[in-house]
Amino acid sequence: MRAGEITVERVSCNSLTFKITVTVFTNTINTNVLFGGEDDWLDFGDGTRMLVPETPNTLRPDLGEGIATASFTVFHPYAGSQEYTISYSEPNRNEGVVNMDGSVNTRFYIETKIIIDPYLGCNNTPKLLVPPIDRACTGVAWFHNPGAYDPDGDSISYEMVIPFREKNTTVFNYKDPADAKFYTSFGTGNETGTGPPTFSINAVDGTITWNSPGMSGEYNIAFIIKEWRSINGRWISTGFVRRDMQIIVDDCKNERPDLIVPEDVCVEAGTTLNATIFGTDPDGDPVKIEAFSEIFNFAPIQSPATWTPNPPVFQPSTPTRAELKFQWKTLCSHIKEQPYPVVFKITDKSPTGSRLVTFKTWFIRVVGPAPKWVSANVNLASRQTNLQWESYVCQNAQTMQVWRRVDSFEFEPDSCQTGMPEFLGYSLIATLPVKDVNNNPITTYTDTNNGAGLSPGAKYCYRLVAEYPRPRGGESYVSAEICTDPILVDEPVITNVTVDRTGTTDGQVTVRWTKPFDINRTQYPGPLEYEVWRATGFAGNAGLTKIHQGRKSENDTTIADVGLNTRDQIYNYRVILYSNTASSPAYAAIDTSSTASTVRLGAQSELKKISLNWSAFVPWSNVIKTEPNEHLLYRGPGGSTESDLQLIASIDPTTGGLSYIDEGQHNGVPLVDTEEYCYRVMTRGGYGNPGIKEPLENFSQMVCAQPNDSIPPCKPTLAVQLSDCEKFFATAACGQGSFSNTLSWVRDDCAADIQGYKIYRAAEENGNYIWLDRAGTNGIVMDTFFVDNGIDGNGLNTLAYCYKISAVDRSNNESELSDPVCNDNCPYYELPNVFTPDDGNDCNALFSAFSNRNLGGEESGCTPVDTQTRCARFVQHVVFRVYNRWGKEVYNYESGSERTIYIDWDGRDNDGKDLAAGVYFYVAEVTFDSVDPAKRNKNIKGWVHLIR
């Protein structure tokens, strides 16, 4: 047995049956042992196994003398979701393997792991295209590449492992092929004689390099090919294939051939790719060039790639180089996120010794074409943009992303740059299906800015990106930019929200705005007046407060807001416009500006450096190309005021983003771990409007940090807004299924370097608390409150949760978790005491728990009884039993599957016979959704009058 592997295909995504294939490579010289037979076991990993029957060898003279292949395929059903390790073992490992003990008495073992999990989706294992049959010469580097690919388009990686003789058990006394044991001059054992030998695998392209063999003989190695699938932005391992193989090393006089392959390339779908691969040999021997890739195996209708000469032939390597011609006409169906590896192999034909090979891999990525715009028209009355684009050329795309920014930003992507680059400063505003339910293309979108209307004064620009379905995935090139004219300035336009002073009680923010120079003066003669309002947070209305007395006059467009906690709080501002009208002298609010926040600077302590980042929620763009556009970073020692800080860096946000790492590079003096450093940043931005002067310059608060800080913050104190059940019953709709929990806390005296808080949630007080890593920004909430609306933002399906929080400082030190706080549901369940199964009154024909259901249908005129306060709420399960007056059970019911919690008993017994009129007694065992285990179960006993 020379080598082998197990590959697995799922027969159907609607079935748990898998096609399992064991493939082996055998040595037929001086042996007649067959693959399979007595004691050759295929274990399915689920507690079952089978003997593999004897399978005849298929001689493969194209692979070399004495080489044959054999395979066995079986279909196997699995019971359910789980990890399964499928293995094959047999006693026929070759004798005389030099890098293990007792090889002839050591079982040959290979395995493949599959994971059946609906969360991961349908999956197949990687496939291997290159046979493991190449020999080696002492003193010359040896190579192997399995030519693996994943048929689902998942990513794959490679890892060397020690060969097994059974599950989780390595062979006896295994030695790495590059172990000193196999060399007479280990220190100069590589091919050039300049260093020790090495043996490794390239984790990305799978090429194994042994540079170079020392002692002749037969060696054994094993490696695994792992597959990875991206699920919600996280790479999850979905299984692996293990190949076990042997390498025969000869003493021979030969130098290995070499390949010249193109640089890795990205091409737009629809492009025809032509390339020539060249082969050379230092000995001038004839060479054969081969190509391996899934793209050669596509069906004719899928436009497979081709190469010539195929079948491969030995060609002269001198005086001209040997050649392989490659051609591929790419299609939309070829688009995927991961590149296609094309493995080229060159083999020489030495007259004096073993044939040597070299492998090289060429990666080809097929990218979706950029979507194309038709128009972008602004509706000035409603402040919205109507966007239209051409029907997308690749209809196998799944979604179209619509991106927006303020002001133009010219950009042309590189050939391998797909999707929306972060540095362009665009925000994703919509993700739409490429086609509707009737398979018609969707080519329009109306941007209303989430219903708030677009910001006056701003020039809006848009781009599109097409996305392709997982697991193959992939994104298109970003579209060209399309821009609107600036929105009319018919309301105040905020231009500055700048922090003048940082403090906990004496902080100051200056707000400036442009008066509405495009307002209709006939309709609003003025003079205009303003009110300035402040709230906490980047956006929203928390703590909304008017910051001055009376109103400000038309030309007074600056205000200083004092007495603030600018150290710990983020503030946002808005300006309300007041005016009289042509028809009325009375002043009234006629419009409100877009909100704009302070710039928030964060500092994270690391070893010998401090990482800084900043952000703001503003209606202008802080990533502009018009110079001067650099953001300016200032620094000073601990205890500094704003005026003490010195400029240390100018950051171009179009290349460096809104971040900077301070390692003392501005003056060449490293940061000292025992010293504190204080920072402040000034942003520069603009609206892209020639009527509004740029750049708009705004300072952040000052923040201080110390490198290598390891002291965690204090434990915070948490509160939750508890359910008021009386109010809940009076106001919440019966069928309401979407809820939220509001948490709040206060910053304590040791919160000077807090960057934010982590939120943890559990289903009960002593349960497993899970970090809500989508809360806030990267799982860090910077406010002192949090509204839990569920993972997707569409609401919780229950109020019954417990919470803890932790404080996280700028060095990512995390405090002890707070004491838990819990909210609970307001469960309720009530049953009637009379029903009339067969008097023709459909409204009362069933014995049912109170609800807002109209059991009589739309035309019945039935009125549910007091549903607002008495309907069933937060009920998970009901077991209901009915007894006659002698205590005999006559009917029972249990909710579940299609049986609702409402019971809906029609007055018949367990045999389906009508019960006589009279009084019956019942017990209802009700399970509620409650955070308190003691409140989850309730027995309701009562009587009901059945009237006929």
Residues pairing with 564 in the sheet: 507
Q: Among candidates 312, 326, 318, which has minimal Cα distance to 357?
A: 312
Res 512: pLDDT: 98
Q: How far is CA 305 from CA 33, 267, 299, 325, 329, in A?
A: 39, 14, 10, 11, 7
Main-chain phi, psi angles of 350, to 5 degrees: -80, 135
Pairing of strands 482-483, 427-433: unpaired
> Would you state the pLDDT for residue 752?
66
Are 241 and 291 in a shared domain?
A: no
Is residue 498 scored above 90 in pLDDT? yes
Mean pLDDT of the chain: 92
Residue 64 has pLDDT above 80, yes or no: no
Q: Are strands 234-250 and 136-137 parallel, antiparallel or unpaired?
A: parallel
Residue 649 maps to a domain: yes
Q: Check residue 63 and give its pLDDT.
A: 79
What was the pLDDT predicted at 868? 64
CB 599 within 8 A of CB 615: yes
pLDDT digits (tens, 9 = 90+) for 878-893: 999 999 999 999 999 9
Does some domain include residue 713? no
Partners of 399 in the β-ladder? 433, 467
Q: What angle is formed at CA 905 by the lines to CA 902 and CA 911, rounded to 5 degrees?
A: 135
130, 223: one domain: yes
Average pLDDT (374-379) is 95
CATH number at residue 905: 2.60.40
**Residue 430 shares a structural domain with residue 497:** no
410: which 2 tokens?
């010219």
Q: Indicate the DSSP class of residue 319.
A: S
pLDDT of residue 515: 95
Q: Write out pLDDT tens, residues 819-869.
A: 999 999 889 999 999 999 876 666 788 999 988 775 555 555 565 555 667
pLDDT digits (tens, 9 = 90+) for 665-718: 999 999 998 899 999 999 999 999 999 999 999 999 999 988 877 788 889 989
**CATH number of the domain within which 501 lies:** 2.60.40.10
In a domain, residue 805? The reply is: yes
Please report whether residue 242 resides in a domain: yes
Question: In this structure, are 39 and 108 located in the same domain?
Answer: yes
Q: Is 828 inside any structural domain?
A: no
Q: Quote the pLDDT of residue 289.
A: 97
**One domain for residues 879 and 803:** no
* Average of per-residue pLDDT across 411-440: 94
Same domain, 754 and 875: no
Name which of 550, 569, 573 is nearest 560 in CA terms. Answer: 573
pLDDT tens-digit map of 405-419: 999 999 999 999 999
Is residue 100 a contact partner of residue 174, using CB atoms and an 8 Å limit? yes
Q: Clarify whether residues 666 and 811 are in a common domain.
A: no
Could you tell me if 147 and 343 are in contact, meaning their C-beta atoms sit under 8 angstroms apart?
Answer: yes
β-pair partners for 921: 883, 943
pLDDT at 842: 65
Distance CA(221)–CA(174), nearest Å, equals 9
3-state SS, one letter per residue, for 368-408: ECCCCEEEEEEECCCCEEEEEECCCCCCCCCEEEEEEEECC
**What mean pLDDT is predicted for residues 225-245?**
91
Whole-angstrom CA distances from 141 to 62, 135, 483, 570, 692 are 23, 11, 58, 62, 67
Domain stop point among 823, 843, 861: 823
The token duo for 531 is 């009110």
Q: What is the mean pLDDT of residues 226-235?
A: 86
Of the candidates 239, 424, 415, the one whose C-alpha atom is nearest the C-alpha of residue 339 is 415
* Distant-in-sequence, close-in-space partners of 620: CB < 8 Å, separation ≥ 6: 406, 407, 458, 495, 596, 685, 686, 687, 696
Question: Residue range 103-121: average pLDDT?
Answer: 92
Strand 384-389 relative to strand 741-745, pairing: unpaired
509 closest CA partner among 564, 441, 468: 564
pLDDT tens, residue by residue, 336-355: 999 999 999 999 998 887 88
Reduce the DSSP state of residue 98 to 3 states and report it. Answer: coil
Burial readout 43-76 (b: 16 or more C-beta within 10 A, e: otherwise)? bbbeeeeeebeebebeebeeeeebbbbbebeeeb
Range list of H helices, 181-267: none
Q: What is the pLDDT of residues 256-285, one digit of tens each?
A: 999 999 999 999 999 999 999 999 999 999
HEC secondary structure over 794-819: CCECCCCEEEEEEEEECCCCECCCCC
- Number of domains forming the structure of the chain: 7
Q: Is pLDDT of 193 > 90?
A: yes
* 258 close to 280: Cβ distance less than 8 angstroms: yes
Map residue 444 onto helix, strand or coil. Answer: strand
For 407-439, b/e burial (b = at least 16 CB within 10 A) is bbbebebeeeebbbeebbbbeebeeeebbeeee
User: What pLDDT is recorded for position 861?
Assistant: 57
Query: What pLDDT, on a 0 to 100 scale, did the predictor assign at position 709?
Result: 76
Task: Give the rounded distance of the alpha carbon of 57 from its chain centre.
Answer: 46
- Final residue belonging to a domain, choices 768, 802, 823: 823
CA distances (Å), 285 to each of 135, 216, 221, 348, 352, in order? 17, 23, 29, 6, 11
Looking at the fold, whether 722 and 815 belong to one and the same domain comes out as yes
pLDDT over 90 at 753, yes or no:
no
Higher per-residue pLDDT: 28 or 240:
240
% of the chain at pLDDT higher than 90? 75
- Is pLDDT above 90 for 78? yes
Which pLDDT value is given to residue 862? 62
pLDDT band for position 751 (cuts 50, 70, 90): low
Q: Phi and psi dihedrals of 104, rounded to 5?
A: -65, -20
Q: Tokens for 488?
A: 């009319």
* Same domain membership, residue 699 and residue 612: yes
Is 209 found in the same domain as 305? no
Torsion angles phi and psi, residue 232, rounded to 5:
50, 40
CA distances (Å), origin 535, targets 14, 67, 76, 497, 531:
53, 78, 63, 13, 14
How open is the CA angle 18-22-25, to the nearest 5 degrees?
Answer: 160
Name the DSSP class of 711: P
| Residue 829 located in a structural domain | no
* Mean of pLDDT values over 428-452: 94
Residue 495 pairs with which residues in a beta bridge?
none
| 630 assigned to some structural domain | yes
Cβ pair 849, 831 in contact under 8 A? yes
**Per-residue model confidence (pLDDT) at position 866:** 55
* Parallel/antiparallel/unpaired status of strands 937-946 and 834-835: parallel
Q: Average pLDDT for residues 107-126, to the nearest whole number?
A: 93
Q: What is the DSSP letter of 262?
A: P
* Helix, coil or strand: residue 946: strand
From 198, 169, 194, 193, select the one nearest 182 (Cα to Cα).
198
Strand partners, 460: 406
Range of the domain at 457: 373-483
End-to-end CA distance of the chain: 83
Backbone dihedral angles phi then psi of residue 298, each to the nearest 5 degrees: -60, 150
Using left for φ > 0, alpha for ψ between -120 and 50, and beta otherwise, residue 871 falls in beta
> Is residue 748 predicted with pLDDT exceeding 80?
no
Q: What is the dihedral of CA 405, 411, 414, 415, to 10 degrees?
A: 80
DSSP 662: E
pLDDT digits (tens, 9 = 90+) for 381-397: 889 999 999 999 999 99
Residue 430 lies in a domain: yes
What are φ and ψ of residue 302, in 5° steps? Answer: -95, 10
Hey, how many other C-beta atoms are within 10 angstroms of the C-beta on 118? 8
Would you say 928 and 873 are in contact if contact means Cβ atoms under 8 Å apart? no
How far apart CA 115 and CA 633 sit, in angstroms, is 50
Amino acid 898: pLDDT = 73
The model's pLDDT over 618-644, given as tens digits with 9 standing for 90+, comes to: 999 999 999 999 999 999 999 999 999
206-209's contacts with Cβ under 8 Å and 24+ in sequence apart are 206/145, 206/146, 206/147, 206/148, 206/156, 206/158, 206/341, 206/361, 207/143, 207/144, 207/145, 207/359, 207/360, 207/361, 208/143, 208/144, 208/145, 208/160, 209/141, 209/142, 209/143
Same structural domain, 124 and 139: yes
The total number of residues shown for the chain amounts to: 948
- Boundary residue ending a domain (417, 448, 483): 483
Which position has the higher pLDDT, 576 or 774? 576
Measured distance CA(74)–CA(334) in Å, rounded: 30
**What pLDDT is attached to residue 815?**
92
Answer with the residue of higher pLDDT: 791 or 655: 655
DSSP state string for 742-782: EEEE---TT-TTEEEEEEEEESSTTS--EE-TTSTBTTBB-
Distance CA 699, CA 512 (A): 13
- Residues 651 and 656: their CA atoms lie apart, in Å, by 6
Two structure tokens written together for 710: 């390891």
How distant is the alpha carbon of residue 704 from its chain centre? 33
User: What is the percent of the chain with per-residue pLDDT over 70, rounded to a whole number?
Assistant: 97
Do 280 and 204 fall into the same domain?
no
